[in-house]
Amino acid sequence: MRVAPLDEGGPSEEEVSHGCNKTDTPVVDDLLYNLRLAPLSFQDLREFMMREQSEENVDFWQDAENFRQTFMYSRAPKLVRGDISLSDSKQARIEIVEKYLAINAPSEVNIPGDMRLETLNKLESEDLTLFDAPQSEVKFLIELDVFPRFLEYAIRQNITVAQSFLRIRIGAILLILSVVFALVVIILEESGVLETPYVRIGDFVFILGAVSYYFSGKTKV
């Protein structure tokens, strides 16, 4: 089973500020580290995995990454937050193992048996890298299996990043046009040039289109 290497300390501060991926299509790190703006986020991916009853994988990745950044790379930007108490490294190791990696754990993740055994054997040691291999394995499974389906679902919902921002921009432009149109109608009516009230229907259409496009761009997965 392939295990992808972990980057030391996660994305850099520059990547946090500007985003790792410069293309319109997000990659898995964009969501895991919440480097992308709405509508696609870590929570969107988790909710999708909840529908597939596999959210334990992304929860484990989050808690393992939080552990790694806290105890191994304390100077790295804290990009994720988990549910595990991180006041003590030993207690955090025990909590993560009992929740995800122990046999019949309540949120047991699907990793190879030899990898699980090796991780369990490291529990009593001071080895802070004990979660590196299973975390990489789980991330690889998410990237290979779940993430493509998640993107297909997002595309079907018309909420990719590029589409979302385009819809929001169109909605804002239509709203501005509706205000300008309304002002022109009022001026023409007061000057006596325009006497029919039916022209106001056009302004209503502009407003309806603006609201529709804007909020369709804000739609969450």
Q: Which two tokens stand for residue 108?
A: 């047991």
Q: Give me the mean pLDDT over the 17-34 stretch.
A: 68
Domain edges within the chain: 13-156, 161-217
Given this model, what pLDDT does residue 185 score? 77
Q: Which two tokens stand for residue 112?
A: 């190879």
Q: Which two tokens stand for residue 8?
A: 């030391």
Cα dihedral sign, 188-190-192-196: positive
Token pair 């549910």 is at which residue? Answer: 83
127 vs 205: which has the higher pLDDT: 127
How many angstroms separate the CA atoms of 86 and 67, rounded?
A: 7
CATH 1.10.167.10 assigned to domain 13-156? The reply is yes
Q: Give me the mean pLDDT over the 128-141 stretch.
A: 94
Given this model, what pLDDT does residue 13 score? 45
Tens-digit pLDDT profile for residues 163-209: 667 777 887 888 888 888 888 877 877 777 766 666 667 667 767 77
